[in-house]
Amino acid sequence: MAKVYYDHDADLQFLKGKKIAVLGYGSQGHAQALNLKESGIDVVVGLRKDSSSWEKAESAGLEVRIVPEACAAADIIQVLLPDEIQGRVYAEEIEPYLEEGKALMFSHGFNIHFNQIVPPKNVDVFMVAPKSPGHLVRRMYEEGKGVPALIAVYQDYTGKTRDLALAYAKGIGSTRAGVFETTFKEETETDLFGEQAVLCGGLTELIKAGFDTLVDAGYAPEMAYFECLHEIKLIVDLIYEGGLGMMRYSISNTAEYGDYSRGPRVITEETRKEMKKILSEIQNGEFAREWMLENQANRPAFNAVKKRERELLIEQVGAEIRQMMPWLKKNK
């Protein structure tokens, strides 16, 4: 079992007297910048001049500068920009200000692992990757809790890089929940696999296939929505709290028998073989290359699928059903 680091293993003193530039104010950027600030750390947010988030960050009490100014002022630069633009922004707006002894950091290893960013040897390079969407990073911190995170050291120029990583993880609340040490390679490959095969790609296809099966058989789309999408959260909450066993303890015996006997007919040997293929495309760089080329071509496939998915019946029905559940609106 890997060692897990908690609050008492991390010391915020390693960040005292240092300024952290958080580049980006999106899902992770807003959460990490606000958590760090409330942990007493000196933060500057780096954005484009015309960013729609500029005012939001300022009215949250944060100092905001354009990216080059934020990088020039900072000792530690946390890159929370979309992965696909990090290489370009790094070359034009970050690298010129990356002086000896500064630190460059990430919440995902994509650009370092796939050589889109090659930092100079005389800086620290590390990662603090919350294992959670950014909005939960913020919400859990506000509740006095935290989300688990991974740390990884890629380059240790000053000899203090691990201390910085643990201190940063503490600043965003993650040592309250537990921090695991990994490598850029392991984080990048497992994160991409998880989101493609299980958490995002696998789950959305499973939901859609179940919904379509019921609707095509003549059942009401509302029934299909409740059964194949809405209840996922309730089931996942139980799995999250107590593993597969707790979920199976809570469901009926009939559901449990259906789980054991029918589940393997949905996720078949063929699916497992395809998962291995997806993993090897990540490991050999094929996925990274494809995603970079898609961006260079202005995302024709990405935009077309995005539009088609937004128009699906399950999304229309879901929007109407969620209107009837006012408690869901507060998290929008």
Ligand X SMILES: NC(=O)C1=CN([C@@H]2O[C@H](COP(=O)(O)OP(=O)(O)OC[C@H]3O[C@@H](n4cnc5c(N)ncnc54)[C@H](OP(=O)(O)O)[C@@H]3O)[C@@H](O)[C@H]2O)C=CC1
Ligand Y SMILES: CC[C@](O)(C(C)=O)C(=O)O
With contacts defined by CB under 5 A, name the span among 6-14, 185-193, 217-225, 261-269 that binds Mg ion.
Answer: 185-193
Q: Which residues pair with 130 in a beta bridge?
A: 149
Among 12, 18, 19, 27, binds ligand X (CB under 6 A): 27
Is residue 191 near Mg ion by the rule CB under 5 A? Answer: yes
Among 14, 22, 28, 197, binds ligand X (CB under 6 A): 28
134 is in an annotated binding site: yes
With contacts defined by CB under 6 A, name the span among 84-92, 110-118, 194-202, 239-247 that binds ligand Y.
Answer: 194-202
Partner from ligand X, Mg ion, ligand Y, none binding residue 235, C-beta < 5-8 Å depending on class: none
32-70 in b/e burial notation, b at 16+ Cβ within 10 A? Answer: bbbbbbbbebbbbbbbeeebebbeebeeeebbbbebeeb
Is residue 83 near Mg ion by the rule CB under 5 A? Answer: no
Strands 42-47 and 63-66: parallel
The type of residue at 132 is S
Residue 312, number of CB atoms within 10 A of its CB: 13
Q: What is the DSSP string of 64-118?
A: EEEHHHHHHH-SEEEE-S-HHHHHHHIIIIIGGG--TT-EEEESS-HHHHTTS--
Quote the Cα angle for 303-306-311, to 5°.
130
Nearest to 29 by CA among 92, 86, 111, 93: 86
216 is in an annotated binding site: no
For the window 77-96, what string marks contact with ligand X as x by the rule CB under 6 A? ---xxxx-x---x-------
Is residue 220 near ligand Y by the rule CB under 6 A? Answer: no
Give least dist CB 249 to ligand Y, A: 27
Binders of Mg ion among residues 194 to 233 (CB under 5 A) are 195
> How far apart are the C-alpha atoms of 98 and 78, rounded to whole Å?
12
Is residue 187 near ligand Y by the rule CB under 6 A? Answer: no
51 is in an annotated binding site: yes
27 is in an annotated binding site: yes
195 is in an annotated binding site: yes
Give least dist CB 123 to ligand Y, A: 25
Question: 7 or 187: whose CB is closer to Mg ion?
Answer: 187
For helices 286-296 and 269-283, what crossing angle results, to 10°?
A: 70
For the window 121-150, what string marks contact with ligand Y as x by the rule CB under 6 A? ------------x-----------------
Among 4, 85, 118, 200, binds ligand Y (CB under 6 A): 200
**Per the residue annotation, which of 108, 113, 135, 230 is the catalytic one?**
108
Is residue 134 near ligand X by the rule CB under 6 A? Answer: yes
With contacts defined by CB under 6 A, name the span among 44-52, 191-199, 236-244, 317-325 that binds ligand Y.
Answer: 191-199
> How far apart are the C-alpha atoms of 40 and 28, rounded to whole Å?
18
Supply 166's token pair. 């643990």
User: What secondary structure, in 3-state letters, does 125-145 show?
Assistant: EEEEEECCCHHHHHHHHHCCC
Q: Which residues contact 2 (CB under 8 A, 6 or more apart)?
A: 180, 181, 182
Residue 135 appears among annotated catalytic residues: no
Length of the chain: 332
Residues with active-site annotation = 108
For binding to ligand Y (CB under 6 A), which residues are involved?
133, 191, 195, 199-200
Enumerate binding residues for Mg ion (CB under 5 A).
191, 195
Q: List, as residue ranges, the binding site for substrate.
A: 252
* Binding-site annotation, residues for Mg(2+): 191, 195, 227, 231
Residue ranges of the binding site:
25-28, 48, 51, 53, 134, 191, 195, 227, 231, 252
